[in-house]
Amino acid sequence: MMKKVIALFVLFGMALSISSCDLDDGQNFNFTTLRVVEAQMPAFFELNETYDIEVTYQRPNGCTFFEGFDVTKTGDTDRDVVVIGTEILDGNTACTQAIEEVTAILKFNVIFNAEYHFRFYAGNDGEGNATYIEYTVPVN
């Protein structure tokens, strides 16, 4: 009897999980890179401290929202930073087309006792090459 009850619960669980899957292929958003305008870097870092770095980026329209930062370690103390946004592709949503400057906080932990080099993605030039705003911050 107990085996039948357990089997019934397992079958019910499987049926519920299958019926709750949404296999809609329609994607209503797109990840996009956002242009950095500037970053407020400290004059120096202290080893083993965490810093809140204010990063100002351009939001290209009212349907694009901040998702986070993509920070790539290109060397021990070299970082490439890209602001990632989500653009809503829903055709029913009216979006303003005004470009807006927005600030977000990048938390950064200093773990090396050498100067850090940051490159913030600032968009592409006329030839399609990535451009960067660069900062060097010494560690005391």
Is the pLDDT at 64 greater than 50? The verdict is yes
pTM value is 0.78
Whole-number Å distance between alpha carbons of 69 and 57: 11
Report pLDDT for 26: 60
Residue 16 falls inside a structural domain: no
Q: Is 68 part of a structural domain of the chain?
A: yes
Residues 6+ apart with CB under 8 A from 127: none
Instruction: Report if residue 39 sits inside a domain.
Output: yes
- Residue 85 lies inside a defined structural domain of this protein: yes
For residue 4, tell me if it sits in a domain.
no
Please indicate, yes or no, if residue 20 is contained in any of the structural domains: no
The average pLDDT across 52-62 equals 97
Model confidence band, residue 89 (pLDDT cutoffs 50, 70, 90): confident
Question: Is 12 a domain residue?
Answer: no
* Among candidate residues 55, 126, 64, 53, the one with its CA nearest the CA of residue 100: 64
Instruction: Report the percentage of the chain scoring pLDDT > 70.
Output: 79
What is the rounded (10 degree) CA torsion for 86, 90, 93, 98?
40
- Contact of 78 with 134, CB cutoff 8 Å: no
The total domain count for the chain is 1
Q: Which domain holds residue 57?
A: 25-137
